[in-house]
Structures are given as C-alpha cells and as structure tokens.
Amino acid sequence: MSPIVELSEDERAELWNRAQDVVHKGPAAAVPDELPARIRDTVRGFARDSGRAGFILLRGLEVGTLPPTHTDGEPATLPAHGTAGSMMLLAELLGTMIGYADEKGGDLVHDVQPLPGEETRVEGSGAVPFDFHIENVHHPLRPDFIGLLCLRQDHDGVAATRIASIREAFELVKPDVLETLRQCQFYSYYPGSFTRVLTAEPMPAGPHPVIYGPADRPLLRFNSHNTIAMSKAGRAALQALTEALELVCHEVVLRPGDCAILDNHVATHGRSAFVPRYDGHDRWLRRFYSIGSIPSSVLQMMDGSRVVPPIPAINGIW
C-alpha cells in the first residue's frame, strides 16, 4: 500500500486557512512554501519520485460546509469554496494547476457526481464500474498528476477508487507482450468529457506506445475503454496488461476529507459500481490536474492563463 498521511488537527486547520486565502484573494495567494512542513515535504517528495505504487493518500482534509450533492436532479456547484483553494495549493506543490479548454470549459476544479440518466456512462457522471485508465490518454500534453478529493461518500460506502500501477504490474507481463506494448501501434479515442459538445467524433490519437520508459521505471499511456490496437497481437497485449493491472489493484474507499494524489504516467485508476439515490447525499469528489512543466510555445498560447488551448491549436507542436 502506498503511504497514507494522516493530517493532524493543526495541519488540517493551517491548510484550510491557507485555502480560504486562495479562494478570497486569488491564485497569487497560493504560496505552497507556507504550508505545514510535513504536507509540503510529502507532496513535493512524491512529485520527485512517485515510487512503485504511483499514488499517496492524504487523509483528514477539511471539506467545509456542503450543499446537497443534487437538488431536483441537478448537480451542485461550489463557487468560491475552500476545497478549491486546498486543491490549488496541493496542485502547486506538484507543479502547476491546469485545465483544458476543450474539457469542462477549462475549469480547474472538476466536480465528479453521478448524474440522473447517465448511470451507465463510463465516466465520472456514471455509476457503473469504470475500468483502468489514465487521464486524457488522447492528449499530447497530459497531466503529470491528478488529485481526487472526497467530499461525500456513496450511501453504502462501497464505491472504491481502484488504483493500479504499471510499475507493480510490469513484472507480471511476459517479455514478448511488453515488447508489443512498446510498439507505436496503438490508438486512443477522446474520452466523453472532451466530446460532449462535439457533433462529430474526432480521429483517435496515435499511433503511440502503451508502455514506454526504462524497464525499472516504466510509464504508461492507456485507457481500457478508449485505447485500441489494430493487430491481433496488440489486442492480446492490451488484455494481458489489463489482467496484470487487476492483480496489483489497490481498492481505496475514499472517505470525506481523503485526497488521493496519483502520478498520471504510472498509476491507472478506475471506480467500482455504486447506486446513486439523488436525494442530496450521493457520492461527490473534486478533481484537479497538475503538470510539472509546459512547453514555452504552449505557454505563449495560454497568455498567462492556466488553461491549455484546444487540441487543434497545439497539435503542430508535437
């Protein structure tokens, strides 16, 4: 199991106070150096070396006062809420907090709630099992880290965030299969969060490898629902990879105030099934992205914002 860091009452209060400053004064108040030393050192240490499991769990963050998850079937929003400040501070310890222009309108904080009528969608708005994936597998500038902060559990307390690391699964995959996974023969379709407002399905990204990097510190580009292979060997390799990830999976049932931080190039994640009731007390997570560095050419297009431009605008860079 990856490290679990239980915040003390003093650490919890200090992080929340700093978070409130960020919300009320703006991003300029996000000064990670002023956070409690143990939080600062743990998160920055993880950013330097995410280890074999590729994730850590911060436990005991303040979540503040919350509205119902849904009202008359409509999901709640949290404008100017302290948890947005907490997430920005953690994201800035890891790198730079970012959003994507073509995903959720460029929002930096994403609310992950079940939505009425979308229970069977294989994405954050659904309630069916969501298999292993990294975030934004199709994108040329993928997040380096993601954070998942639990505000509210599902009614039955059974919805687990399922985390599986390629570094723990790597040794379970046969050498010839690994060789296939390292070949540029795979394609990844856009996830639903990037295509909701589009009238036509974009062409998949690729060809790209699924596994890359050195054997002792492998990296992954994979979404079990969106990544495909054009060859029989490639399809068999994807199945073998999925089975290996299943064998090393960590089932993490997030409680309110738990924040899981994942290395998006090492740890895949998913979610087990649960039953939403739309009574105001359904499961509610908040998500952030962080990136270690942004190419200067992209920074020029961002023009001081934290939002990565639409894919067509940056496709020529890679």
pLDDT tens digit at each of 318 positions of the chain: 568 999 999 999 999 999 999 999 998 899 999 999 999 999 999 999 999 999 999 999 999 999 999 998 889 999 999 999 999 999 999 999 999 999 999 999 999 999 998 898 888 888 888 899 999 999 999 999 999 999 999 999 999 999 999 999 999 999 999 999 999 999 999 998 898 778 788 899 999 999 999 999 999 999 999 999 999 999 999 999 999 999 999 999 999 999 999 999 999 999 999 999 999 999 999 999 999 999 999 999 999 999 999 998 988 766
pTM exceeding the 0.75 threshold for the entire prediction: yes
pLDDT of residue 130: 87
Residue 239 backbone phi and psi in degrees, to 5: -65, -40
Q: Tell how far CA 275 is from the center of its chain.
A: 22
Does a structural domain hold residue 178?
A: no
The whole domain housing 100 covers 4-156+251-317
Quote the tokens at residue 144: 């380096």
The continuous run of DSSP H or E covering 90 comes out as helix 82-94
pLDDT of residue 208: 98
Does a structural domain hold residue 235?
A: no
Alpha carbons 291 and 146: distance in angstroms, whole number: 9
Nearest residue to 8 via CA among 253, 251, 257: 257
Does a structural domain hold residue 32?
A: yes
Q: Please list the helix, strand and coil fractions of the chain in percent, rounded to the nearest 5, in that order.
A: 30, 25, 45
Q: Tell how far CA 192 is from the center of its chain.
A: 15
Quote the tokens at residue 57: 């769990």
Does a structural domain hold residue 282?
A: yes
Does a structural domain hold residue 183?
A: no
Classified as helix, coil or strand, 75 is strand
State yes or no: cis peptide before 207, omega within 30 of 0: yes
Does residue 306 contact residue 99 with C-beta atoms inside 8 Å?
yes
When divided into structural domains, the chain yields a total of 1
Q: Residue 201 corresponds to which amino acid? A: E
Evaluate the CA torsion angle 172, 174, 177, 183 in order and state its sign: positive
The continuous run of DSSP H or E covering 238 comes out as helix 232-247
Does residue 54 contact residue 169 with C-beta atoms inside 8 Å?
no
Does a structural domain hold residue 47?
A: yes
Residues 6+ positions from 231 with CB-CB distance below 8 Å: 185
Does a structural domain hold residue 149?
A: yes
Nearest residue to 43 via CA among 52, 34, 55: 55
Does a structural domain hold residue 211?
A: no
CATH number of the domain residue 307 falls in: 3.60.130.10
